[in-house]
Structure 1
Amino acid sequence: MHTQVLPEPTEAARTEGKAARMTSLHLSAMGEMVERFLDAAARGDLTQASTLLSNTPSLINQKGYSGWTALMLAARNGHYNVVEVLLSHGCDKFSVNSSSQTAYDIAKFWGHRHISNLLGRTDDGCRRVLPDTDLHQHENYFSRETLDRLSGKRTDKVWLETKRNHPDTVYLLFSNLSPMVSSSQVDEHTGVETKLCRFRYEAVKELLQKPATVLIFLGVEKRRGPSSPSSSQMEEGVQEPPAWFAISTDEDAAELLKRCREKNCSFPKTPNRDLLTFSEEEAGIVAQARSVLAWHSRYSFCPTCGSSTQLEEGGYKRSCLNADCRSLKGVHNTCYPRVDPVVIMLVIHPDGNQCLLGRKKIFPARMFSCLAGFVEPGETMEDAVRREVEEESGVKVGPVQYISCQPWPMPSNLMIGCLAVAISTDIKVDENEIEEARWFQRQQVIESLLKGPHPAFTFPPRQTIAHQLIKHWIGMNSNL
């Protein structure tokens, strides 16, 4: 039997094999060192992190799982001293992980303000006033400012009187807090388009003489140029843009409708639905006018002494007619329009891939929305979020992040939209508040928003901040 004899490896082959083994060992050792360095940063072990970095400076921007650097891990866990040392060694603070998040984004999300402030400073030591991510927030419905409110002109009685009589001034008519509108059928995708009915002075001047009429100065149309007119420009005779006023009267709605030449005018009967059909430009005007008129409808008498009151400052103040009332002495907020702050929050599951939604009995069938509740006196926004979520659903919340806000003229709320991270997941609803709460998988939410309503559930319409919070969340990655 012939036995094959294998040739001895050449010297070159032996050298090449040895080099490959050495490279493998080096990579293994380097990988282990990276893991130790990242772990030290995550735990806040400044001594170990500094020692490893001194021996191997190339560790500074090494990435681990999901593209996280030592700076990101230290920022995530609130280790200010580690972040400070890493920055002093010249680490790349603009590096992003696999979800395109910087260390600044991570620190801000988890509420480590001292670290986000440090990371937000520019190379010359100046603080970046607004991070790039804050400059492109979504504009919520009812939020667009089409008019320049010119609040400084509200105390100028002569100027206001001139504007009231001006032929270019625009008047909006309200009945029971609903604006007169004209509606037209649009295509099947957009449905009905609602527009405000606009009147001139001649059409409403007799209404202005009635004692029960409430008149609100809304502002002047914003110029389309690069800047708005200043008060000094206006006083120098520069042509001013048209002013807008809102009128609320006790005249019968049918009589008011006769003033409109168009045939398809009406007053919306269901505000929560009908007021969501305006253009973005007109929705903001409606929110302003309706909120102030709602305040007048509820506070026609002095809340301090019960006497009658009179309108002042373009409709933005009511003064008590009782000369002895203490509301006329010192600083009081009982004579100005009120805004009720409400927190509305999308609660995220600790796994990052589920969100908590609830439904009230008054909701349309199958609709789920974000939890919400009023902010109480002496309470921070963050504490209000935690309290309301636990009261309504039994779920405890940790970090809270503000996203955006929305005026909600039903009658005069400011919806403060937040994301919140749950630190418990068991649900126990308060049936006096909501009838059901449920965790929804991210994929379920995506399919419902992109492909149309799910057979088992639906979400609020796009005009609501709840819808925008949900949409904001599914646009994020769960890598925080």
Structure 2
Amino acid sequence: MFFDGPDTPVTGFTGSRLDRADHLRRDAGALVALRAHPNARWLVMDDLKPVLNSSSDAILWAYRSDVPHDAPSVFLGLDGEAPRFAAAAPSDELVRDFGGTLVDARAAGAMLPAPQAAAIAHARSLLDWHARHGFCAVCGAPTQMTKAGHARNCGACGAEHFPRVDPVVIMLAVKGGHALVGRQPRFPRRFFSALAGFVEAGESLEEAVRRELFEEAGIRTGRVRYLASQPWPFPSSLMIACLAEAENFDITLDDEELEEARWVTKEDVHAAMAGTGEWLAPPPLAIAHTLLKAWADS
């Protein structure tokens, strides 16, 4: 084994405690009962930003009466027997009358306990997908939300559409006690991270890892090991963290993708995470942080 770290590291936006209750999603009667349940609550997303309780830094779970009846609403699952929904709706009343505050989803994910951050990721991805997919990709006719927000149906041609999730590999090439990190031109000054890229059609995860490392940095790699995954709801990616055995140290940059790349040691990573190094590491919410930490601690 070239890496002996933990098998299942914890990543940001994971750790939901909701039962997604798929068996209830197509049951119209059950959904009506869930919405009318006295303990039903809604996570309000205004412009895809969650409303939090300003006094407790927690989700402000709204009552059904606080959500406009025509607001797009999706079923997130059951918290015990309590139904949980999310709705794309204005936040003015919740902010004015109930002490709510509108927070960017990334900031909320960093500050909230894991189960609440996971609920925000679930809600943001679904509501954003519905906002983008009002028309059928097959025939162009309008579509309607079905399956409690987990699908859309076309009444014209009968096509059923499901929320899109885009797989992204994020990886460290490792060799001889070193790992490869890079910085994109858009990154803040001194900030370095693991390399990443979308998985292409007809490609395995391992092939995507090897291709991206070679395309962006000219590094040939062999064996690939999966480490962990993370939902990233901006808009709806699945980040898949891997480590790959590098066959060479020579870097050839694709300067459209990377401004700089360098080989770093485990000591370099620990210093970066402590804020005492020459470069800055990704924050704990990002799976790149998990990946770097797992390697540096191994």
Same fold by TM-score greater than 0.5? yes
Q: Which residue of 1 aligns with 2:280?
A: 458
Quick one: higher RCO (CA 8 Å, sep 6+), 1 or 2? 2
For residue 118 of structure 2, give the secondary structure of its aligned residue in structure 1. Answer: helix
Q: Which residue of 2 aligns with 1:301?
A: 135
Gaps of 5+ in 1: 1-105, 111-132, 185-192, 223-240, 329-333
Give the partner amino acid of 2:253: V
Q: Which has the larger radius of gyration?
A: 1
Shift of residue 256, structure 1, vs aligned partner: 5.3
Contact 1:301 1:309 in 2 (8 A): yes
In the aligned structure 1, how far is the partner of 2:114 from the partner of 2:73? 24
Of residues 87, 103, 114 in structure 2, which corresponds to 1:268?
A: 103
In the aligned structure 2, how far is the partner of 1:158 from the partner of 1:373? 43
* 1:175 is the counterpart of 2:10: no
Q: Which residue of 1 aligns with 2:113?
A: 279
Shift of residue 255, structure 1, vs aligned partner: 4.8
**What are the residue-to-residue correspondences of 1:397-408 with 2, within 5 Å?**
397-408=221-232
For residue 244 of structure 1, give the secondary structure of its aligned residue in structure 2. Answer: strand
* 1:344 is the counterpart of 2:170: yes
Contact 1:166 1:201 in 2 (8 A): no
Of residues 409, 419, 423 in structure 1, which corresponds to 2:247?
A: 423
Q: Which residue of 1 aligns with 2:195?
A: 371
Q: Which residue of 2 aligns with 1:471?
A: 293
**What are the residue-to-residue correspondences of 1:134-153 with 2, within 5 Å?**
134=7, 137-153=8-24
**What are the residue-to-residue correspondences of 1:71-86 with 2, within 5 Å?**
none
Contact 1:140 1:405 in 2 (8 A): yes
* 1:360 is the counterpart of 2:184: yes
Percent same amino acid at aligned positions? 38
Contact 1:366 1:456 in 2 (8 A): yes
- Which structure has more strand as a fraction of its residues? 2
Of residues 8, 31, 43 in structure 2, which corresponds to 1:160?
A: 31
**What are the residue-to-residue correspondences of 1:31-430 with 2, within 5 Å?**
106=1, 134=7, 137-183=8-54, 194-204=57-67, 207-208=68-69, 210=70, 213-222=71-80, 241-249=81-89, 251=90, 253-255=91-93, 257-258=95-96, 260-262=97-99, 265-269=100-104, 271-322=105-156, 325=157, 328=159, 335-349=161-175, 351=176, 353-430=177-254
Q: Deviations over 1:235-272 (max 9, x none)?
A: xxxxxx100000113x4x435533x411xx22224x44
Shift of residue 341, structure 1, vs aligned partner: 0.5
In the aligned structure 2, how far is the partner of 1:256 from the partner of 1:300? 27
Shift of residue 281, structure 1, vs aligned partner: 1.6
Give the partner amino acid of 1:201: R
Number of equivalences: 297
For residue 61 of structure 2, give the secondary structure of its aligned residue in structure 1. Answer: coil
Please, what is the CA RMSD of the aligned residues? 2.0
Shift of residue 151, structure 1, vs aligned partner: 0.7
* 1:444 is the counterpart of 2:281: no
Give the partner amino acid of 2:285: Q
In the aligned structure 2, how far is the partner of 1:315 from the partner of 1:219? 11
Give the partner amino acid of 2:272: S
What is the TM-score when the length of structure 1 is the normalising length? 0.59
The list of structure 1 runs, each at least 4 consecutive aligned residues, that deviate by more than 6 angstroms after superposition, is none
Contact 1:343 1:417 in 2 (8 A): yes
Shift of residue 456, structure 1, vs aligned partner: 2.4
Shift of residue 363, structure 1, vs aligned partner: 1.7
For residue 230 of structure 2, give the secondary structure of its aligned residue in structure 1. Answer: strand
Shift of residue 453, structure 1, vs aligned partner: 1.1
For residue 314 of structure 1, give the secondary structure of its aligned residue in structure 2. Answer: helix
Contact 1:172 1:199 in 2 (8 A): yes
Give the partner amino acid of 2:85: F
Gaps of 5+ in 2: none
Give the partner amino acid of 2:292: I
Shift of residue 420, structure 1, vs aligned partner: 0.8
Give the partner amino acid of 2:284: R
Q: Deviations over 1:99-136 (max 9, x none)?
A: xxxxxxx3xx59xxxxxxxxxxxxxxxxxxxxxx64xx
In the aligned structure 1, how far is the partner of 2:107 from the partner of 2:123? 17
For residue 458 of structure 1, give the secondary structure of its aligned residue in structure 2. Answer: coil
Shift of residue 404, structure 1, vs aligned partner: 0.9
Contact 1:342 1:375 in 2 (8 A): yes
Q: Deviations over 1:405-430 (max 9, x none)?
A: 11111111111110111111111211
In the aligned structure 1, how far is the partner of 2:183 from the partner of 2:54? 31
Contact 1:268 1:275 in 2 (8 A): no
In the aligned structure 1, how far is the partner of 2:246 from the partner of 2:107? 32
Contact 1:345 1:417 in 2 (8 A): yes
What is the TM-score when the length of structure 2 is the normalising length? 0.93
Contact 1:179 1:267 in 2 (8 A): yes
